[in-house]
Structure 1
Amino acid sequence: MPSKPCPRLWDISPTVAPDAPIFPGDEPYSLRWTARLSPGCPVNLSAITMSPHVGAHADAPLHYANDAPAIADVPLDSYLGRCRVIHAIGAAPLVTVEHLQHAEEGLPPRVLVRCCERADTRWNPAFTAYAPEAVEWLAARGVRLIGIDTPSVDPADSKVLSSHQQLRRHDLRVLENLVLDDVPEGDYELIALPLKLQGACASPVRAVLRELK
């Protein structure tokens, strides 16, 4: 019998590189070699430095609340399972409830919103974020994780982080800096597990969507 085709995967993580867009003042990605293949060395060995917010990443509650869990202490169930991609392309400056209502029926516990025709490859301080009312609306419908294809669920100049505080209030998880350029609106399986980084305020993720069968 012919083998069944494997479900299609969408890689929704940008490449982590020295020129990856980051918030001003954040630590960029840097790689150095601590050992190189040679007659006296059997391996190449590298070391990296970077903010855990470079590229696709999961914020920990510690990022926006003192005495809240670090990323190593956050349960993993929200980062794995059925997910809906909702298109709100052109929504600016905020994704509002009105941008989400067309996809309300049967919402799964995870929602990723595509705002961009193409994800930014350079820092753009005018990126689209979530209205806090939209976060609250999703939480009221049983959503446990939200994501976005921009650097943050709050605007770049926000000093109160109203949408992050809604995440804290409702104990939601969040993914930021996703790349949803080629992902049609619809339902998928999300796989985006954070690293078990002790004490860290966030973690990089290799986020993928898998076709549902």
Structure 2
Amino acid sequence: MRIIDLSTPVDANKWEPNPIIHEVMSAAEGARHMADGMKANHGIDFDPANLPGGELLSLDTITLTTHTGTHVDAPSHYGSSAKYGRMRHIDELPLEWFIGAGVVLDISDAPTGSVGADVLEAEFSRIGYRPGEADIVMLRTGADVRAGTPSYFTDFVGLDRSATALLLNLGVRVIGTDAFSLDAPFGHMLRRYQESGDQSVLWPAHFLGREREYCQIERLANLSALPSTGFIVSCLPVRIVGAGAGWARAVAIMDEPLAPVAKGETT
């Protein structure tokens, strides 16, 4: 069995629109913290010097959003009401949704903005496979090479409404991308709206989640290491009660090493 990591690391040293704060309590500080707590809460005196090396355990405190790093968006992230009823939080979704056959669609040659159903149909033909129910479809945009830089959040390609609807109509319930968002970059959508006055260009992939229940995996990585099909994806989200998203350690599981399928080739 071969396991390929598809996750973007959570790194406080990299650029993020919502900065990560990572505070580390050293093992020595942990010993003093424990001793102070025992004295204050239980009246017990304990000298940290009695511990091996004067150390107890380290402790990391991290402040970040649930949309930092590789994460799964729950339906409740898309709005406050839906046509299908109550929008479930990340802790309420079936675990079966997040382990399934993986499908990689390569749209890395598309410019910044969004692609439609026609582009996905062409990719289905190229790889010789049409996604179905329980498949986890992941879009290879190539944006992951810019992760940790400002351009990662402004230069990528997403899906329009027709492309998202196509996948949902095929029975797909989890759609992933190696970009910051399944929609086009914020600035791109807002400029299109200012030019046209058409509200349908604003977050069409996310807002479709108000009509159809599905999840997105955003900020994946290493999709170029995968074939188009023939592997299993696990992207189980962290169980955060009442949250609209949860971090995930997404991985691909393959029975044997397989070479990725490049544009112009067939499986």
TM-score bin, normalised by smaller chain = 0.7 to 0.9
Q: 1:155 aligns with which of 184, 193, 207?
A: 184
Q: Between the two proteins, what is the percent identity of the paired residues?
A: 26
Q: 1:13 aligns with which of 7, 16, 24?
A: 7
Matched, 1:63 2:77: yes
Secondary structure in structure 1 of the residue aligned to 2:225 = coil
Secondary structure in structure 1 of the residue aligned to 2:231 = strand
> Which runs of 5 or more structure 2 residues have no equivalent in the other structure?
32-48, 82-86, 191-201, 257-267
Secondary structure in structure 2 of the residue aligned to 1:43 = coil
| Structure 2 match to 1:187 | 230
Matched, 1:43 2:27: no
Cα distance in 2 for residues equivalent to 1:166 and 1:150: 18
Cα distance in 1 for residues equivalent to 2:255 and 2:208: 30
Q: Can you list the C-alpha shifts for 1:84-116, whole angstroms capped at 9, x where unaligned?
A: 111111222213223322326342422101011
Q: Can you list the C-alpha shifts for 1:52-110, whole angstroms capped at 9, x where unaligned?
A: 11111101222121153221122222111112111111222213223322326342422
Cα 1:106/1:181, change in 2 over 3 Å: closer
Cα root mean square deviation, aligned: 2.1
Map 1:164-183 to 2 at 5 A: 164-179=206-221, 180-183=223-226
| Structure 2 match to 1:76 | 95
2:144–2:219 Cα contact (<8 Å) kept: no
> Which runs of 5 or more structure 1 residues have no equivalent in the other structure?
1-6
Cα distance in 2 for residues equivalent to 1:47 and 1:183: 34
| Structure 2 match to 1:135 | 164
Shift of residue 118 of structure 1? Answer: 5.1
Please identify the structure whose Cα radius of gyration is greater.
2
1:117–1:181 Cα contact (<8 Å) kept: no
When you count strand as a share of all residues, which structure comes out higher? 1
Shift of residue 168 of structure 1? Answer: 3.3
**Worse-matched range after superposition: 117-126 or 137-146:** 117-126
Shift of residue 50 of structure 1? Answer: 0.5
Cα distance in 2 for residues equivalent to 1:83 and 1:167: 21
Shift of residue 212 of structure 1? Answer: 4.6
